[in-house]
Structure 1
Amino acid sequence: MDATAHKAKKTLKLITALLAKAENTPYPAEAQTFQEHAERLMVRYGIEQATIDAEAGRRGKPQEAMVEERFELFGSYRVGQAIGFSAIAHAFSTVRVLQSTTSTKKILFLIGAESDVQQVLRLFNSLQQQLTSAQHIWWLNYPYKDVLTAHEKTLERRQFQLGFLTTVAGRIMHLYSQESQAADPGTALVLTGRKERADDHVRLLYPTVRNARSQSIAYGSSHAHAAGSHAGAQASVNSEIQESS
């Protein structure tokens, strides 16, 4: 195994460990530290892989495979979750997201370089657990729930989830901006090229795909959104934590 592959393997191992710690700690501040560090490493890893892949292309060598993976959402909150998780996937900039709807579920199709798609899925699965835990704690202490109808309760919980997920998406977008500026001058072009490869793969798989009409949904209160946003911020990274050697 060459040095680059060894470093990538270690980074993935560290990301997995940090996400597991974020999922399992009962302390929000610790979850924030672990989650943010994992996200920053994900962004750095994605930029590194894109750079390596672009160099392989310039040398006429095989590039990383383009893949498609499905992520399915069920239950009463699936529409709002699809909006939030799609925003997170788009924040990675090199992954395309398509949606499909059935009577019982929302399906997100993640399309891009294999390592990018796997990173997004890894984050999705971790965030699902963290979101469930954060919402449970918030709802136990929510002061207005006794005066809400069943429908209003659903809207409030959906709004909490949207606040949580869109806050994570915004943070990842900010991390990409930071890390791209700190990297080599050609990084933006490298990421653009990787996204174009994902776009080409979408056209190959779905030559007749059209932009979907936006789906209107009812929203909950600003209180629920703010609480979800705060919880999403707790799901985040202290870049001072050092990668193990």
Structure 2
Amino acid sequence: MAAAQQDGAGSAEAVDIVDRAFAAALHVDGDTALDTGASLLAAGERAPTEAALTRRGEEFVSRAWQRGWLPADLVRHVRRQLAGPHVRLVETLISGETRRYEGLDGRWTAQLAALGTAAAPGAESGPAADRFTRATVTLELFRLLLRLPAIEPLGPPPGTPPSLLSTVHVSDSRALGRIRGLLAKAEATDYPAEAEALTAKAQELMARHSVDDAHLGEAAQAQAPGAIRIGVEAPYETAKAILLDAVARANRCRSVWNEELGFSTVVGFERDLEVVELLHTSLLIQGTAAMTGAEAGQRAAGRRRTKTFRQSFLLAYAHRLGDRLTATTARVTEETADAETLPVLAARDVAVTDEAERMFPRTRATRVRGASDHDGWHAGTAAAEAARWTRGRLQK
């Protein structure tokens, strides 16, 4: 009994220390406030104080779920705003908080599986970090989590009854396997023309993939559009967001960019969303490689305006690729869709548009700036035009 009373007193003291540290550090900006809070935490008894911090951290994570955030969103946001120790800590808190749920939505399960290896308790700042440093990292993370804005929910939060959960999962279909293979080859080749031809073939398969879904008829119509969030990172985030929008539209989806939080939300049917994510990632890799090569030529000629060249390159690349991808989708639809499939495709387009407008009733067009470098624009257009193809094959 005496031991139990001692543990309870220690726990109460730890909670009081944590409360005072939070009052000092979380609601006030500046390093002085952080130092005060970290000093309070470092002076407390270690085990109960860290246990109290873990409980409070998991509460912050739970609030994030209620405000529309997903695990991948939270980790990406922490990575953008803070540093590695904070990312390891938030992953640990996410793993601990979600462990208490019996069932999770399919997308949650996939995102949790993709988290990095969770740091051991007490090692979030590295094995050599002292208690004051660890306390500072913890308070910096909690300050960020406390101030998270509400964002558009993409599905049921944890705790939803299993009967209401979706079964979203990464498809293992043969078509998507072929698409992944083509894009991997496009990323690996050193020849721009070959990369463009492989990407073109991948887009053709994506378009056929979507038409095949429409052939399911009533089953396809019964589905509802979903949404995913894709990170749009600096630098040149405007060009990257435009590229994602172009890829989304070419694959019967809609994209809305949140510049402040560094992501775009893509609305569409699940299998279309997956190919959008695949293609956008691949095109970013290919575009960056082509830009680096073109930039090297410019530097060899004595140019130094790297930033404007890159911005203009990527904008041109996104603009021209969007045209080509959309043209490929239109051609494949014309060749493969029949009188029964076309109304289904049209109904799916309407459903996607309606869902995007429901989720984002207030959007605005963004004025694009930065396409001021003629050489960069020309090089970006050339990269998107590097190959000519017919049915996915290079024309010689």
Distance apart, 1:200 and its partner CA: 3.0
Change (3 A) 1:173 1:48: same
Alignment correspondent of 2:178: 14
Pairing 1:96–2:254 present = yes
Aligned equivalents of 2:342, 2:176: Cα separation in 1: 23
The aligned runs of 1:80-95 (5 Å cut-off) are 80-92=239-251, 94-95=252-253
Aligned equivalents of 2:378, 2:234: Cα separation in 1: 23
The aligned runs of 1:42-53 (5 Å cut-off) are 42-52=206-216
Alignment correspondent of 2:330: 177
RMSD: 2.4
Structure 1 unaligned residues grouped into runs of 5+:
1-7
Alignment correspondent of 1:4: none
Alignment correspondent of 2:364: 212
Per-residue displacement from partner, 1:10-65 (whole Å, max 9, x unpaired)? 2111111000000001122221221111111111111211232x33257xxxx334
Change (3 A) 1:205 1:213: closer
Change (3 A) 1:130 1:236: farther
Structure with the greater relative contact order (CA < 8 A, sep ≥ 6): 1 or 2?
1
Which of structures 1 and 2 has the bigger CA Rg?
2
The aligned runs of 1:59-74 (5 Å cut-off) are 63-74=222-233
Aligned equivalents of 1:57, 1:156: Cα separation in 2: 44
Structure 2 unaligned residues grouped into runs of 5+:
1-171
Q: TM-score, normalised by structure 1?
A: 0.80
Letter aligned with residue 272 of structure 2: D
Aligned equivalents of 1:57, 1:42: Cα separation in 2: 16
Pairing 1:56–2:56 present = no
Q: Which moved more, 1:169-178 or 1:221-230?
A: 221-230
**Contact in 2 for aligned 1:180/1:187 (Cα 8 Å):** no
Change (3 A) 1:76 1:146: farther
Change (3 A) 1:41 1:14: same
Per-residue displacement from partner, 1:62-82 (whole Å, max 9, x unpaired)? x33422111112222111221
Q: Which residue of the other structure, out of 170, 183, 203, is the alignment partner of 1:39?
A: 203
Per-residue displacement from partner, 1:166-215 (whole Å, max 9, x unpaired)? 22211111112211221213544322211112123234434xx2231432
Change (3 A) 1:34 1:240: closer
Pairing 1:113–2:277 present = no
Say which SS state the counterpart of residue 220 (structure 1) adopts. Answer: coil
Change (3 A) 1:228 1:46: same
Distance apart, 1:111 and its partner CA: 0.6
Alignment correspondent of 1:76: 235
Say which SS state the counterpart of residue 173 (structure 2) adopts. Answer: helix
Identity %: 25
Q: Which aligned runs of 4 or more in structure 1 are off by greater than 4 angstroms? A: 235-238
